[in-house]
């Protein structure tokens, strides 16, 4: 006896229809082999950015090795010789000491530059009188390179840490300041008027509208300034320094130890990449409501 469903359709007929029509889940299996996307291609598409990154690094190493072998000069050491110099400097502790000194100087100068640049940029963007007073000095100083302040900084602050941190601070503060001021100027005037119509003014307007709107600009300026801070540390350690990656680069060049010099340059670049990735991670983790992914390079 054949069982029937509520609609009067037999179970046997339903099963037969299901066998004839496999449903949307099995459509991919019914495609011809030529139209199916191989699993290897899907895996490659998913991991292609990392693969291309590794290929780019490998290509750079290969090109450097070929150039070193072709020139056959002590002024152009091979990647293997640079790696050996790095291992040697790690073994005797000089590289780690240089990293600690340079990172400390960069961190202090960068943080101080952000702490001064963000409030001053907000003030210059919000208050025309503050901008009129500060803008001539800011516009003048930002075009004077930090290397020009090396001798005055040493004369004013001595040969200790203060002069080196001051150079890094100088490199940081103007980029953060100008980006923050640009962020204030980019806020739509209608948005501010609408908030004022609802009774939002003073510190509430600043906390709810102005600061969140400019935060992405400040973060972008800080990331650019961080890269410049790693460049500034080399100049800051040019004179009257006895440790640091910048000092190691200059000192190795004077003694024609090119493998050590290029090793220090490599470490400095890798530290810069790591610091930028860390800043992007922190922005994504703690400021995701204010800083969009496109604003910090994701």
Q: Indicate which CATH number applies to the domain containing 217.
A: 1.10.3720.10
Is residue 4 a part of any domain in this protein? no
63 and 141 co-located in one domain = no
205 and 105 co-located in one domain = yes
50 and 107 co-located in one domain = no
Domain count, the chain: 2
166 and 245 co-located in one domain = yes
Q: Are 280 and 296 in contact (CB under 8 A)?
A: yes
Is residue 123 a part of any domain in this protein? yes
Is residue 19 a part of any domain in this protein? yes
Of 34, 52, 76, the position where a domain reaches its end is 76
Is residue 46 a part of any domain in this protein? yes
Is residue 202 a part of any domain in this protein? yes
Distance between CA atoms of residues 217 and 208, nearest Å: 16
27 and 108 co-located in one domain = no
| pLDDT single digits (tens) 39-84 | 666 666 666 777 888 888 889 889 998 988 888 888 889 899 999 9
171 and 210 co-located in one domain = yes
66 and 86 co-located in one domain = no
Is residue 5 a part of any domain in this protein? no
| Residue 291: pLDDT over 70 | no
Percent above pLDDT 90 for the chain: 33
If one compares 134 and 296, the residue with the highest pLDDT of the two is 134
Is residue 34 a part of any domain in this protein? yes
| pLDDT single digits (tens) 208-224 | 888 888 888 999 999 99
163 and 291 co-located in one domain = yes
261 and 237 co-located in one domain = yes
Count CB-CB contacts under 10 A for residue 214. Answer: 27
Determine the pLDDT at residue 117.
94
Domain that holds residue 138: 78-296
Determine the pLDDT at residue 131.
93
Of 21, 55, 76, the position where a domain reaches its end is 76
List, in sequence order, the alpha helices (H) in 79-210.
79-92, 94-126, 128-141, 150-157, 161-185, 189-197, 203-205
Task: Give this prediction's pTM.
Answer: 0.76
14 and 155 co-located in one domain = no
Of 54, 76, 98, the position where a domain reaches its end is 76
DSSP string, 207-242: IIIIHHHHHHHHHHHHHHHHHHHHHHHHHHTSSS-S
**Which residues are within 8 A (CB) of 239 and not within 5 positions of it... i.e. 6 or more apart?**
150, 151, 154, 159
Is residue 1 a part of any domain in this protein? no
Per-residue buried b or exposed e for 132-146, using 16+ beta carbons within 10 Å of the residue's own CB: eebeeebeeeeeeeb
Among the ranges given (32-41, 120-129, 193-202, 252-261), the one the predictor scored with the smallest mean pLDDT: 32-41
Distance between CA atoms of residues 144 and 113, nearest Å: 16
Distance between CA atoms of residues 238 and 232, nearest Å: 10
Determine the pLDDT at residue 129.
93
32 and 98 co-located in one domain = no
97 and 64 co-located in one domain = no
């Amino acid at each position: 006896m054949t069982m029937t469903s509520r609609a009067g359709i037999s179970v046997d007929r339903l099963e037969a229809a299901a066998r004839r029509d496999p449903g949307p889940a099995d459509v991919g299996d019914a495609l011809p082999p030529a139209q199916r996307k191989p699993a290897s291609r899907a895996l490659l598409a998913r991991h292609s950015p990392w693969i291309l990154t590794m290929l780019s690094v490998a290509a750079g190493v290969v090109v450097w090795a070929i150039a070193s072998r072709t020139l056959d000069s002590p002024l152009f050491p091979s990647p293997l010789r640079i790696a050996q110099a790095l291992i040697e400097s790690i073994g005797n502790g000089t590289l780690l000491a240089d990293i600690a000194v340079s990172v400390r100087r960069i961190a202090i100068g960068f943080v101080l530059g952000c702490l001064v640049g963000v409030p001053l940029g907000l003030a210059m963007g919000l208050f025309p009188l503050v901008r009129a007073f500060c803008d001539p000095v800011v516009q003048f100083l930002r075009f004077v390179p930090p290397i020009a302040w090396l001798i005055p900084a040493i004369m004013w602050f001595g040969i200790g840490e203060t002069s080196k941190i001051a150079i890094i601070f100088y490199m940081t503060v103007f980029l953060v300041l100008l980006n923050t001021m640009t962020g204030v100027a980019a806020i739509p005037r209608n948005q501010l008027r609408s908030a004022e119509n609802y009774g939002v003014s003073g510190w509430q307007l600043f906390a709810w509208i102005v600061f969140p709107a400019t935060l992405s600009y400040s973060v972008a300026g800080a990331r650019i300034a961080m890269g410049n801070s790693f460049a500034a540390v080399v100049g800051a350690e040019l004179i009257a320094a006895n440790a640091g990656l910048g000092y190691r680069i200059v000192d190795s060049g004077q003694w024609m130890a090119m493998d050590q010099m290029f090793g220090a340059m490599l470490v400095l670049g890798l530290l810069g990449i790591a610091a930028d990735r860390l800043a992007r991670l922190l922005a994504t983790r703690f400021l995701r409501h204010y800083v969009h992914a496109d604003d910090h390079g994701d």
